[in-house]
Amino acid sequence: VEMDAPILHNITLVDTPGILSGQKQSVGRNYDYAQVMRWFIERADLIIIMFDAHKLDISDELKKVIELMIPHQDKIRVVLNKADSISTQQLMRVYGALMWSLGKVMMTPEVCRVFMSSFWGAPLKNTDQASLLTQEKIDLFADIAQLPQNAVMRRINELVKRARAVKVHAYIIHYLRKQLPYTFGKREKQRKLIGRLDREFVMCARRYELPKGDFPPLEPFRQALSEIKDLSEFPKLDKKMVKEMDKVFSVDIPNLLEQAREF
């Protein structure tokens, strides 16, 4: 289907595979559904979760998908569809129940924005809240229309995040490498360093003045290090490259942000 809609000129909409509920959840899929959803979640600039005003159940499969979205909460928008098919009193109850259910899954007191409206071409069935539902639809469309601009800013922020992570990873290896003896006892010393990695993170952050928030998750990093036979085989930290990276943060990234604002 093709449609000449201005809002779609710089936006691609993807309707992901549906969520199973009830007994259907026990029926195996012929692909890894969680991995497919993770792929879309990591690459999307905006994630819209659709709920029917008559069906608010969060199935086990939907719960797992929402949990995958927790690191990307800034991308999430929730739509409560068919809000015109219930009374104002029912709408208040449904909205409250949805917020409560989402709060439990996302483990946060403040969940993402919920847009209430009726997203189809027919006139509203219940006109008591017509102005509210119409404005909610306008707000959602305005949010979508800002995607090209917001996507540029998000990609720059992601670039900064990854660059800071690379710098911290380099310093962690550099720090651990310096703790190893030159000759005997390397393996035992490396094992002890990995065992007390939480303390080594703190010491590394202090020595090189690195933000603790840029450090990787402890246990996955510990597991990755445990698979390395000899940390001393890593090349020495190139201070010139570190200076070049700092230049990226102080000069190149601000220039990118300035260009993005003019986009």
In tens, the pLDDT along 178-187 reads 998 887 888 8
Confidence class for position 27, pLDDT limits 50, 70, 90: low
What mean pLDDT comes out for the span 116-142?
88
Residue 203 in this model has a pLDDT that exceeds 90: yes
pLDDT, position 154: 80
Q: Which of 3-7, 54-58, 135-139, 198-202 has the lowest mean pLDDT?
A: 3-7
Cα atoms in the Cβ-side hemisphere of radius 13 Å centred on 22: 3
pLDDT, position 25: 52
What mean pLDDT comes out for the span 13-23?
72
pTM greater than the 0.85 cutoff? no
